[in-house]
Amino acid sequence: KKKLKISGRELLSVPRQVFGLDQLQVLEMSPERESCLRYRMEQLPQEIGRLRNLTCLYVDSNNLKKIPAEIGTLSRLERLTLSNNSLSSLPAEMGALQRLRSLHLANNSLTELPAPLCQLRSLTFLDMSDNRIVTIPSSIRHLEKLETLLLLFNSLESLPEDVCLLRNLHTLWLGNNHLRSLPAAFGELVNLDWGYNYCSCNFEGNPLERPPPEVCSRGPEGIRDYFSSLRRI
């Protein structure tokens, strides 16, 4: 068996029989997105590390408070969804998931961008919306392949200059934070088409002053011109 879905409103733990399925590639323990249900599992057992062939692990909408260090042994994992849980931290061992391309962490209790994420060189999709993130460390520059970064509904007051080194970004959502300014090199993110595709970059709900919102709507060239004019003054 290569794919397994376990469901049930009273789901509290992973059945032990699962860990004998050493060929398992997809394990889903999340309610259907449309159902608005929440399962009750509070932690993944250490035995999750036995499933060495897993490529996709879905554990959204539970009550997870901790991820075991053994998650780092899942060397083939490409997709990990942990949204809608109660996570306040992530184990450093997650940095070993070098094939991970998509990581969902929306609606947890994280307060900063965890350091292990910056070691995930293959990551292309990172959703950290609706946490309590107040800072993004400059080490985010290590996510050089990142294409999608969702940071809506957090408490960001500033962005590190190193965000501007993520030249592969196509989608960046920053809505509903506390941003008053953008880094001077923000216009170098040329793959974001502000103003042309609304879904590519979202600033709504921020008290932006520098540059003003109307400048952002002109796209990367407008932002570059704006900061260039400031340097000439």
Over residues 149-190, the pLDDT tens digits come to 999 999 999 999 999 999 999 999 999 999 999 999 998 888
Judge contact between 37 and 60, C-beta under 8 A.
Answer: no
pLDDT average, residue stretch 201-230: 85
pLDDT at residue 195, rounded to an integer = 54
> Domains of the chain (ranges plus CATH)?
3-231 (3.80.10.10)
In this prediction the pTM is 0.90
Judge contact between 223 and 192, C-beta under 8 A.
Answer: no
Name the region of 84 (left: φ>0; alpha: ψ -120 to 50; beta: rest): left
Number of residues assigned to the chain: 233
Query: pLDDT grade, residue 34 (50/70/90)?
Result: low
Task: List pLDDT tens digits, range 87-124.
Answer: 999 999 999 999 999 999 999 999 988 989 999 999 99
Q: Is the dihedral of CA 19, 20, 24, 28 positive or negative?
A: negative
What's the rounded Cα separation, in Å, for the pair 33 and 47?
27
Compute CA 200 distance to the chain's CA centroid, rounded to the nearest angstrom.
16
Name the percent of the chain lying above pLDDT 90: 66
